Amino acid sequence: MSALRERQLATLARERPALVVVDVQRSFGDPDMLGGHGLDAAAQASVAAAVERCAVLVADARALGVPVYWVELGTATPWRASQWLRDGDLDAPLGDDEPCVVGTPGAEWYGVQPLAGEARVRKTGYSGFLHTDLAARLRVDGIGWVAVVGLTTECCIQATATDAIQLGWPVYIPDDATSAYDVALHAAALEQLALNVAVIGSSSELSGLWAGSALAADLVPAGAGAGA
């Protein structure tokens, strides 16, 4: 371990942590809904493993008193710029393959579920901070740093983590608790995140950081200040 990494992790151990779970929903994680994305066997295994690691981290966070914040995509109306990017038409209607449409199976959590009282944040774009109250919740709850996990690495994980550091929170990303639909893309996204956004590690290291935090036992419940 480099001297810089030692300093980074030592600093995190003195601050109040939180786990931010992003978009582990059926549209993004259920293999029955991913047929149109062309995942090869390696990518399918990577996504499945990431969902499993997210579930393990949620269980560890709860056991150690680390608050969990659930960030979920909830599409109700067309996102015009995204429709243009995907279809070339600003005014295209929501298609049958639109992910995470509110009230449909695709919007349901997959492989892991929030508990009553845990903070849930609905987003309509890539970042969990864009037009949401996530930042306010973290500040009221006294969170000093965040671990960001979920799907997918190059899209909503990258957007959420980038906004987190820009808003003042150090970011830790366990590389085995996020994934993309191409393993090379996943690796490239992690490399880019490591340059400017986050410390990259593993889920086991993250659980160890939580366990070693002197503040873990004194954490307030997620959403206590801002309302769940």
- Tally of residues, the chain: 228
pLDDT of residue 225: 39
Give the bridge partners for 121, in sequence order. Answer: 71
Asked whether residue 141 is domain-assigned, the answer is yes
Asked whether residue 58 is domain-assigned, the answer is yes
How many structural domains comprise the chain? 1
pLDDT of residue 81: 84
Domain membership of residue 137 as a residue range? 3-218
Q: How wide is the angle at C-alpha 142 spanned by C-alphas 138 and 143, nearest 5°?
A: 60
pLDDT in tens, 119-156: 999 999 999 999 999 999 999 999 999 999 999 999 99
Task: For residue 124, say if its preceding peptide bond is cis, omega within 30 degrees of 0.
Answer: no
Residues annotated as catalytic are 156
- Are residues 99 and 106 in contact, defined by beta-carbon separation less than 8 angstroms? yes
Asked whether residue 227 is domain-assigned, the answer is no
State the amino acid at position 87 in one-letter form.
D
- Give dist(CA 29, CA 120) in Å, integer: 18
State the amino acid at position 58 in one-letter form.
V
- Are residues 130 and 96 in contact, defined by beta-carbon separation less than 8 angstroms? no
pLDDT of residue 218: 52
pLDDT in tens, 64-111: 999 999 999 998 888 788 888 888 889 888 887 889 899 999 999 999
Asked whether residue 223 is domain-assigned, the answer is no
Asked whether residue 148 is domain-assigned, the answer is yes
Asked whether residue 24 is domain-assigned, the answer is yes
- Give dist(CA 197, CA 171) in Å, integer: 7
* pLDDT tops 70 at residue 227: no
The CATH number assigned to the domain holding 81 equals 3.40.50.850
Q: How wide is the angle at C-alpha 30 spanned by C-alphas 24 and 33, nearest 5°?
A: 120
Could you give phi then psi for residue 82, rounded to 5 degrees? -70, -40
pLDDT of residue 144: 97
Mean pLDDT taken over the chain: 92
pLDDT in tens, 196-222: 999 999 999 999 999 987 444 454 444
What integer is the mean pLDDT of 55-61?
Answer: 98
Asked whether residue 225 is domain-assigned, the answer is no
Asked whether residue 13 is domain-assigned, the answer is yes
